[in-house]
Structure 1
Amino acid sequence: MFEKLKRVLKPVAAPPAEADGLARWAVDRMLSHHRLSNGATVAEGLLLDRPLRAGCAPSSRPYIVGVELMARAELGLRDDVSIIVMHRTLKRALEKAAGKVYADAVSQVQTTDRPLPEELMWLSMYRDAGWPGPTPDFWARYCVLTDSVEAAREWLDGDAIDSLCDAPAELRPVTPFLIALTRGKVYLRLQMEAPDDGLVSHYALDTLEQLSARALKLFGR
């Protein structure tokens, strides 16, 4: 089933990306960083006085091909709040993949004890929320999955919406990209589609930092 999922989601291959952007971002925030034997860069330390781990490495996720920029901010938030912001094109790709996986399982009367990837579970657990305020361009580019529209509206205030709308042109709307607040943490997932001069990676990591700071203010324990 998971091999079928990978085939459905696999986009056009992207060129490898260098991880220098992540290293420079880490230095600016006094985080430690090191290069692994496979060429990946890992950065870790305290951001907003909370543990952060980030990496730029070959992707193991079926919906990201080539190199993935990932980060996890251990914020210790309330665990009853889940809000996922992702490119709408990624949601459509995940929906297509989920439909194919379920159809194949039913037609072949297959069962598995292995859980579905979390990204597919989000589609069934949370609704695609919307509210007045953000521009049509924002809603055309992004979807917001949540079970609490009120919490999502608080978290994605005007400044956050502006930041998400101010993505550099190099970060295309069709690029797999998401920031998720769930299980008391904030996560970043981004497909790197070109050698990283810092423009795209710094934007994504800065946005993660901004949304993490707001999450601490609103949902910290």
Structure 2
Amino acid sequence: MNFVEYPDRDLLMLALADRIASQLRRALDVQERVTLCVPGGTTPGPVFEVLSDLELDWGRVNLLLNDERWVDETSPRSNTALLRRHLLKGRAAAASLVPLYLPAPAPEDRMEEITQGVQAVLPLTVLLLGMGEDMHTASLFPGADRLEEALSEAAPPVMALRAMAAGEPRITLTAPVLRAAMHCHLLITGAQKRSALERAGTLPEIEAPVRTVLSHATIHWAP
């Protein structure tokens, strides 16, 4: 684990966006296409805003969420809608979005199609993750119904999980996909999340799922 501390959040967001773009550019020098995988939520919004206007061959970039709530884009809880507002615009509008939600009553109804779409853009070139104070990352929540399976080496690349803390059913990338990313970044802010991260290092993955990526992640933190 590489821990990088920034004096303030503005500097963190700018530096992280620049680093992600640099890693994508280097990969595009040797690959026809690359895959950028990002979280939902409000914390990474400033990173997305900076990234969206950076010069990059966005037409060769696949864009994938870490996870998605099983809601359509009209819902205020849709990560996909958030991504369209903050990242899929400007120069970055040329990127290709890989969906984790397809219209259906339950995620299991569309899992085959979603899985095929995800498999086609693996492995992840650059992975940006967030973390909750409960030490979840993506939708790998402590106490989720299929968490042990999602953390195992035999897990399929994408799974539907349900957890009390999650609200709606979730679609999430699984631990093997996250661990196989070429570059992995974890973005956290504030004293409470730093404390949670420190606790995660002392717990098994089933209690602190974020631990599944800590050995090879660069942690970006600001107060």
Q: Which has the larger radius of gyration?
A: 1
Q: Which has the higher contact order (CA 8 A, sep 6+)?
A: 1
Using the size of structure 2 for normalisation, the TM-score is 0.30
Using the size of structure 1 for normalisation, the TM-score is 0.30
